């Protein structure tokens, strides 16, 4: 592996949540590998050239063969590395960082302080390196939730107005925030599942769109002049940021450049673990750092300094949309916690709304590939009766992402998850996304209203079935 890749990531170190069924079809130096993804890093060969030369793998090399679902963690671009981030810092380029609540929770548990303290100390630390602003993806998540609520209502009404065959791909609506799930759906499930997936971008790509299409304009900067980095709990977010769908053309000031410049909504993604590595590299004592005020431009923080957001360590999609749909469609105000019922295991839960003895809303949380595949089979056979599915590839959801800081010595993964779940909502006030003043201002100044043409242009995306090449199919004969 090239030394330019992050030192924290080694192919053999990662553990995916679905068992491989074949060797990786991307051979090295034209030689077929008989190893699975769990031991690719230890491929033996009598060819010394193969052993000594660094191997560079592009994200486009990943064909999501049966075992490569969350294995996007193993497929890195040099532009997605910690070294590349430090290189851009040294160049003095305007850098904006967007921090996910899952990552700040991971750092909080590691350092034994609150997520709010992490946010403020991390702001101090990153700005000492030359970062211009540190934003909060909880803000963009609220925007995705509003767009998702609007999309669900549209789909639900359509399904009620058409016959069963006509509205076949309308429901269930499936959340689109998990790139591991999207990768699997596009490369393994094909066109029959894609129409069910919400067109709303993930919070990462939503804040990427806000930063590059709106904030840059407010600051008087061209999108390609700003280096936008997100901090995420998942290596697959690197894959998501690199999608061609999220690369756009910028008008060039150079008249000789006929085609303009292309830039990404998110230029680079660092995982929680990589940020910890950066802290260990550059900060003598992170806990001793002063706490800086948070950047209010795109951060869910009120006048008293408290963070606000929604319940749910994976974004709260099912809960938020369920409450909104119950109110909008059936006039039911649901106060207090939702009564999620465990169905098969703790990673598969459902909640229902009954009106006059009839189930009118049926939502589910579906985490981990075992549960995911069961649901997919039901959809394919036409036996799925859910209206909405919050699907995440990782067991226990985003707090358990592959890019999170690992458990300490003597600490079980289960104990770590419990600590993360307890810390996630610390110092966070539960608030209605529709009442978020930052989101309201984004609609007023830029997007107009939920579901508008501008909102569809900047906040929504498309999915594409990926057909495996004949070469890849022949390789496994």
Domain of 387: which CATH number? 3.40.950.10
Contacts of 458 (CB under 8 A, 6+ apart): 209, 210, 213, 446, 447
Asked if 242 and 59 touch (Cβ cutoff 8 Å), the reply is: yes
Q: In this structure, is residue 82 part of a structural domain? A: no
Q: In this structure, is residue 70 part of a structural domain? A: no
Q: In this structure, is residue 189 part of a structural domain? A: yes
Q: In this structure, is residue 335 part of a structural domain? A: yes
Give the range of the structural domain holding residue 333, as residue numbers without chain letter.
147-200+310-435
Q: In this structure, is residue 248 part of a structural domain? A: no
Q: How far from each other are the two terminal CA atoms of the chain, in whole angstroms?
A: 28
Q: In this structure, is residue 21 part of a structural domain? A: no
Question: How many domains does the chain divide into?
Answer: 1
Averages of pLDDT over runs of 10 residues in the chain (477 residues) are 38 38 41 40 40 48 43 54 89 93 96 95 95 95 97 92 63 94 88 92 96 92 93 92 88 53 91 95 91 93 89 93 96 90 91 93 93 91 92 93 90 92 91 94 95 95 78 47
Q: In this structure, is residue 28 part of a structural domain? A: no
Q: At what angle do helices 272-282 and 115-129 cross, to 10 degrees?
A: 60
Q: In this structure, is residue 157 part of a structural domain? A: yes
The pLDDT tens digits for 428-468 are 999 999 999 999 999 999 999 999 999 999 999 999 988 76
The pLDDT tens digits for 321-355 are 999 999 999 999 998 889 899 988 889 999 999 99
Question: Would you state the torsion angle of the CA atoms of residues 250, 251, 254, 255, taken in this order, to the nearest 10 degrees?
Answer: 140
pTM exceeding 0.75: yes
Contacts of 339 (CB under 8 A, 6+ apart): 351
């Amino acid at each position: 592996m090239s030394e330019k890749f992050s030192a924290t990531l080694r192919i053999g170190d990662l553990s995916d949540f679905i068992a491989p069924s074949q060797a990786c079809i991307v051979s090295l130096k034209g030689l077929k590998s008989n190893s699975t993804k769990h031991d690719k890093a230890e491929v033996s060969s009598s060819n010394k050239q193969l052993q000594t030369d660094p191997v560079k793998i592009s994200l486009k090399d990943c064909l999501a063969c049966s075992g490569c679902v969350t294995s996007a963690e193993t497929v890195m671009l040099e532009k997605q590395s910690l070294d590349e981030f430090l290189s851009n810092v040294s160049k003095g380029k305007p850098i904006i960082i967007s921090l996910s609540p899952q990552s700040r929770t991971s750092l909080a548990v590691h350092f034994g302080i609150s997520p709010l303290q992490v946010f403020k100390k991390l702001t101090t630390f990153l700005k000492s390196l030359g970062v211009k602003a540190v934003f909060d993806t909880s803000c963009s998540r609220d925007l995705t939730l509003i767009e998702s609520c609007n999309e669900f209502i549209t789909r639900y009404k359509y399904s009620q107005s058409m016959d069963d065959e006509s509205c076949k791909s309308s429901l269930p609506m499936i959340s689109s925030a998990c790139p591991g799930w999207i990768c699997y759906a596009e490369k393994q499930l094909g066109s029959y599942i894609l129409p069910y997936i919400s067109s709303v971008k993930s919070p990462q790509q939503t804040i990427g769109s806000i930063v590059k299409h709106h904030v840059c304009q407010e600051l008087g900067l061209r999108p390609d002049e700003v280096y936008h980095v997100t901090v995420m709990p998942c290596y697959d977010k690197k894959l998501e940021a690199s999608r061609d769908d999220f690369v756009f053309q910028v008008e060039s000031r150079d008249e000789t450049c006929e085609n303009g410049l292309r830039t990404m909504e998110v230029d680079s993604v660092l995982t929680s673990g990589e940020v910890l590595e950066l802290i260990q590299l550059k900060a003598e004592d992170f806990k001793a750092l002063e706490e800086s005020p948070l950047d209010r431009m795109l951060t869910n923080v009120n006048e008293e300094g408290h963070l606000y957001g929604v319940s749910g360590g994976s974004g709260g999609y099912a809960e938020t949309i369920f409450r909104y749909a119950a109110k909008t469609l059936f006039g039911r105000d649901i106060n207090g916690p939702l009564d999620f019922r465990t169905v098969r295991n703790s990673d598969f839960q459902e909640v229902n709304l009954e009106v006059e003895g009839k189930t009118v809303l049926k939502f589910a949380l579906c985490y981990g590939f075992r549960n995911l595949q069961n649901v997919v089979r039901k959809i394919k056979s036409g036996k799925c009766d859910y209206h909405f599915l919050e699907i995440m590839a990782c067991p226990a959801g985003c707090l358990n992402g592959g890019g999170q800081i690992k458990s300490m010595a003597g600490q079980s993964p289960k104990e770590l998850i419990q600590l993360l779940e307890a810390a996630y909502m610390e110092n966070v006030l539960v608030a209605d996304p529709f009442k978020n003043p930052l989101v309201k201002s984004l609609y007023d100044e830029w997007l107009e209203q939920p579901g508008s043409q501008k909102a569809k242009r900047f906040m929504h995306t498309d999915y594409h079935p990926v057909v495996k090449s004949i070469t890849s199919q022949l390789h496994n004969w």
